[in-house]
Structure 1
Amino acid sequence: MPWTGTTTRWPSASSALSPSACANRRASSVLYDREAIRTFSPDFFKSFLLDDREMSAYVEELYTAKAMPLMIRFIEEGKERGEISSKVSTGTIMAYFHMFKDYSSSILEMAGQRDDKEAFIEEIIHLFFYGICGEERSS
């Protein structure tokens, strides 16, 4: 069943996007769909989302018009709740998102070369949110 533009297809996405969900869970649900990773190969995503010009333009339009405003809202809400560091500006966080987006083709190629593609993607998502040191601890 194709996605219909709502979160009713994936109940976990609905709960992740609820205002009570933590910021990184909400952002992760927008950026990463575990079921899609299990179902489709990294090569499929690369050819479908990056190599096909028409699809790439459509994805870019969705990214700009829908995903990024949603991510900015999640960042701001996460900062208000203390879930996202106030040491980093929203603009810098968005630049970080853009770096991952711009490098997505290479990440998909690397995932395609791994035996456990899902674990690799999970680790990339962890690095995306926590870096190599994990969560920052209070001193």
Structure 2
Amino acid sequence: MNGFERRKQLKMQQIREAALDLFSHFGVQKVSIQDIAQRANVSPVTIYNYFGSKEDLLLDVLSNYFETRLQQFLKIKNSDLSFQEKIGKMVEAKVEETKKLSPSFIQSIFMTTGPVRELIQTFAAEKSIPHLMELLEEGKKEGYISNDLSPELLLFYIQLLFDGISKQSHLFSSEDQRDKHTKQLIHLFFYGLMGQKKEDEPPN
């Protein structure tokens, strides 16, 4: 990559980050190309040249964000950590996400129709869900997850957990709360409401 292309890529990433921050805080509808240009310290013409319309920029921003999150997940999934430790890292990453993206923005994105919904559905079906299912199968092999649970139910359970983290982000607003509630969520994921079974308690 030559110097010109490198500068272009850096400027595009700068625009993506500015757009994501503004979209998250104010909503897509209330943010203009001019607002993004001002935040990214570029001209509106530069944004149009690189991305096209605001709708095209939104798709690019989301695609880039999803891909970044997927690479973070794959780094955890392919690590030498135990399944329990991997789930812990996933929960911690989701908690960290609440500091960057507002719950209202996440909810609005997943309720959107058209190209945005198509992007989300395609990314989930072709990338995120298959990798997540591989991790859950690993959990079954290690004995952390019951073989009686269907893949559909496991996905539903994890979606409930992550949706709850997004919608109740106030539970993680301070460092003390974040540490406390993250540990409790991980414990809840593995042991449920009753907590860990006693060693002499017979299995169900």
TM-score by length of 2: 0.45
The answer to whether structure 1 residue 134 and structure 2 residue 191 are counterparts is: no
Give the conservation status (yes or no) of the 8 Å contact 2:77–2:86.
yes
Match of 1:45 among 103, 106, 110: 106
Aligned residue in 2 for 1:5 = 67
The answer to whether structure 1 residue 66 and structure 2 residue 127 are counterparts is: yes
Aligned residue in 2 for 1:111 = 168
Unaligned runs of 5+ in 2: 1-16, 18-63
RMSD: 4.0
Identity of aligned residues (%): 20
Report how many aligned residue pairs link the two structures.
131
| 1: CA distance, partners of 2:151 / 2:82 | 17
The answer to whether structure 1 residue 78 and structure 2 residue 139 are counterparts is: yes
Please state whether the residue corresponding to 1:85 is helix, strand or coil: coil
**Higher RCO (Cα < 8 Å, 6 or more apart):** 1
Give the conservation status (yes or no) of the 8 Å contact 1:78–1:84.
yes
Aligned residue in 1 for 2:82 = 22
Give the conservation status (yes or no) of the 8 Å contact 1:23–1:78.
yes
TM-score by length of 1: 0.60
- Radius of gyration: which is bigger? 2
Unaligned runs of 5+ in 1: none
Give the conservation status (yes or no) of the 8 Å contact 1:23–1:84.
no
